Structure 1
Amino acid sequence: MSPHGFSRLSLRAVALLSLSAAAAATAGAAGAVEFPQTPSMFYGGLCGGSIRTWADTDSPGRAVFNIQAAPITGVGPGTYSMAPLCEVWTNVDWHNTTTGAAGRYAVNVVSGIYGSIQYSEFQETGSGHVEVTVSTANPLSIPQHGAFDVP
């Protein structure tokens, strides 16, 4: 095979893989609905940041609620006071306006200068239109609202 034939084959392979990856990423995100980020102060130091939440709606009659804190800023106690590790209870209150079902996903989100792990939980929302309020236990936060449909 000539060097030109090999490079053409390589370029075609790269283009095909790129298109496949883009299609897979689009398909994977099809059932996800992200809500506005919730700004909040955290406990365990003088820390602040925002909390990202979204719902995956690929399963009929239920949703997976996901919570993840963005990197926080602030100061905390201890040797590494400029790299604090802080926490705040975060609530995702949901109400299915079609069926009347309601629930809450609450988790203590621990975050640092690199953010937090992803917290997730299935909720049996039922099929229909679901409205969400995301808040924290800290009074210095701004609750956010969102909505999505469950098949």
Structure 2
Amino acid sequence: MATALLHGDIDAAFGRVHPPLPARLAHRRVRLEPVDAVLSKDHPLAAEPALQPDQLRDSTLWAPGALDRLDFLHQFADRFGIQNTATSVNLGVAHFLAQVAGEPRSFSLVPADVPLPEVPGLRSVPLVNPTPLYAWSLLWCTGNGHPKLNGFAATCAEEAG
């Protein structure tokens, strides 16, 4: 995404900002999105109405790629003492969630507001106390002359509150 912005292939993008940001890029946080834990219906905590993140300490965090390349999941594991992790090849969300559903001691994190595909044996449980928030930002190149970019950024900021 940063490369496409810097090359002028796109005018703006939504994503997670990882420092250091290239000098020509600017960003504005536009959403803090809560995440839920998704786990197998056979997971020992699957029947809980909500979970505190540290309750997952003895479970395996399943990631759709190398954890060192997935900043949010990596930080979650570090912050809440998740020692066991597993990774897979990202072949799409349905495939990924089916893998999680098939492992009774594993879990992953998904945006709370996104409808999940129908995956048998999967349960989504809200995380509370604290509720982890995924930060989405609008990114653009400074000095971008697109006539609608300023209005778009203002609308995003207004919607974000």
**Normalised by the size of structure 2, how large is the TM-score?**
0.22
Higher alpha-carbon Rg: 1
**Normalised by the size of structure 1, how large is the TM-score?**
0.23
The structure with the greater share of residues assigned to helix is 2
Structure with more contact order per residue of length (Cα contacts < 8 Å, sep ≥ 6): 2
